[in-house]
Amino acid sequence: MSKLYFSFFVLIFSSVYLGIHFYIYSRIAAGLVLPLVVAKYLRLFFLIAAFSFLLGEFLSRRTTSFLATPLAEFGSIWLGVISIAFTIFVISDVFRIFFHGASFRYYSVVFSLIVTFLVSVYSFYNVARAPVIKELKIRTGKLPQKLSGFVIIQISDLHINFLKSEKWLNKIVEKTNRENPDLVVITGDLIDADLCKLNHFCDTLKKLKSRHGVFAVTGNHEFYAGVNMFTDIAKNSNITVLRNEKTTIAGAIELAGIDDKTGRRFSEVGSDLSLALKNCDFAKPVILLSHQPDIFDEAEKSGVDLQLSAHTHAGQIPPMDLITMFYFKYPYGLYQKNDSYLYTSCGTGTWGPPMRLFSRCEIVKIILE
C-alpha cells in the first residue's frame, strides 16, 4: 500500500472519528448545562478514550505487553460505544427539529445516554454468546446423487489478533467439528496479526477436521497484516489457500477461490475470476470463495453455482449496519440470481468492537442436495 494512500486514509478516518467525539461531547456539555470544571474533565476523558482506540489498534498488532492489551480492549469497546452514541444522538437531534426548549434538550441528552448504555451492554452480550449455526440447503442438479447431503461449513472474519483468546477459537473449532463437515472453507479475514508469534493459535486451527480438507481465501486484512505471513500461517495450520485458482473436491465439485481485490494496492494481482475459473468443469457444481460479495453478478454470468462471501459483518452496530446496507449490493444473507446462489455471511468473529446489535456471530452450514 502506498504511503500516500495510507496517509490519506488515516487523515480522513481520524477527522471523522474525532469529529464524532466533539459532536457528542458538545451535545452532552450543552444539553446538561455542565459547569466549566466538569465540562473540562469530560473533554479530557473524551480525548483519552478517543486516542485509546487509535493507540491500542497500533500496539495490538505488534505486542502483547501488559499495557497494550487492556488499552486495546478498552479502545475497541469504546469505538463501539461512541458509534452507537453517535447514531442515537443524531436521531435525538432529528426530534429537536420539532421540539424546542431547554427542557427537551436536557431530557433528550439523558434519554440518549441511557439508550446508548443499554444498547451497548446488549451488543457486547450478544457477541459474548457462542456463534449460532446458520443452516442453508442448496439444490443443484449437477451434484451426483451419492453426494447429496454434502456438508460445507463456512467460517469467516475471525480477525485473530492478540486480543482474541485460544479458548474462544477452540470453541469455534469444536462447534465446527461437531457438524461433521465434508468440507470447511474460510472466506477471508482470518488474521489481523502475526500468529507465528502465538503458536497455540496455529495448533488450534490444525484441529479443524473435514473429510476433504480446509480451504481459505485472502481477505483485505490478510494484506494489511502481510499476505506472505498469512500463507505461512495457513501452511502451518494445514489450511490450503486458493489464490485465483481451483481444485476438485471428491472428484465431483469444483472449488475456486479468488484473492481479495485489496491485493492490488500491495502490488499483488488481486481478484482474477477468469483465472480462478479457467480450468473448471462446469458440468460439475462450481463453488466460488470470494471474501467480498459484490463480484456475484460477474460470477453468475461465468457459470458459478454457489458463491460464499463475507466481509460486510452485517455492519455489526449502528450506524455501520445502515451504511453497509446501502454501500453493498449483497450485504448479508442468501441471494439467488437465475440458477446461481450467493450467501454473504455476517462473520464468525468481529472486527474492532466485540459488539453486534441486529446480527449474531455465525458458523454457516451449507447442505448441498
Give tens-digit pLDDT for 195-229.
666 568 889 999 999 999 999 999 999 999 899 99
Mean pLDDT of 121-142: 97
Look up residue 46 and give its amino acid.
F
Report how far residue 307's alpha carbon sits from residue 302's, in angstroms, rounded to the nearest whole number: 12
What is the number of domains present in the chain?
2
β 306-309/340-344 pair status: parallel
Same domain, 250 and 354: yes
Same domain, 198 and 344: yes
Same domain, 221 and 332: yes
Report how far residue 133's alpha carbon sits from residue 364's, in angstroms, rounded to the nearest whole number: 6
pLDDT band at 2 (very low <50, low <70, confident <90, very high): low
Give the domain extent around 262. 132-368
Same domain, 112 and 84: yes
CATH code of the domain containing 248: 3.60.21.10
Same domain, 293 and 275: yes
Which 8-state DSSP code applies to residue 277?
T
Which residue, 333, 347, 323, is CA-closest to 159? Answer: 347
Query: How far are the Cα atoms of 18, 56, 356 from residue 52, in angstroms, in the given order?
Result: 12, 6, 21
241: left (phi over 0), alpha (psi -120 to 50) or beta: beta
Same domain, 331 and 352: yes
Residue 365, beta-bridge partner list: 135, 153
Same domain, 112 and 190: no
Same domain, 121 and 146: no
Which residue, 292, 288, 315, 314, is CA-closest to 303? Answer: 288
Same domain, 44 and 12: yes
Residue 7's pLDDT is 78
Which residue, 154, 233, 169, is CA-closest to 207? Answer: 169
Residues 6+ apart with CB under 8 A from 113: 28, 85
pLDDT band at 10 (very low <50, low <70, confident <90, very high): confident
Residue ending a domain, choose from 128, 152, 177:
128
Burial of 41 (0-12, 13-18, 19+ CB in 10 A): exposed
Same domain, 182 and 222: yes
Determine phi and psi for 70, rounding to 5 degrees.
-65, -35
Residue ending a domain, choose from 128, 156, 172:
128
Range with top average pLDDT, 195-199, 230-234, 243-247: 243-247
Contact 347, 306 (CB under 8 A): no
Residue 311's pLDDT is 98
Contact 359, 332 (CB under 8 A): yes
Same domain, 74 and 185: no
Same domain, 124 and 63: yes
Q: Among residues of the chain, what percentage have pLDDT more than 90?
A: 83
Residues 6+ apart with CB under 8 A from 69: 60, 162, 163
Residue 249, beta-bridge partner list: 253
Name the pTM for this structure: 0.94
Residue ending a domain, choose from 75, 95, 128:
128
Residue 136, beta-bridge partner list: 366
In tens, the pLDDT along 262-321 reads 999 888 999 999 999 999 999 999 999 999 999 999 999 999 999 999 999 999 999 999
β 132-138/362-368 pair status: parallel
Mean pLDDT of 228-246: 95
- Is the confidence at residue 1, as pLDDT, over 60? no
Residues 6+ apart with CB under 8 A from 170: 204, 207
In tens, the pLDDT along 308-354 reads 999 999 999 999 999 999 999 999 999 999 999 999 999 999 999 99
Report how far residue 235's alpha carbon sits from residue 251's, in angstroms, rounded to the nearest whole number: 23
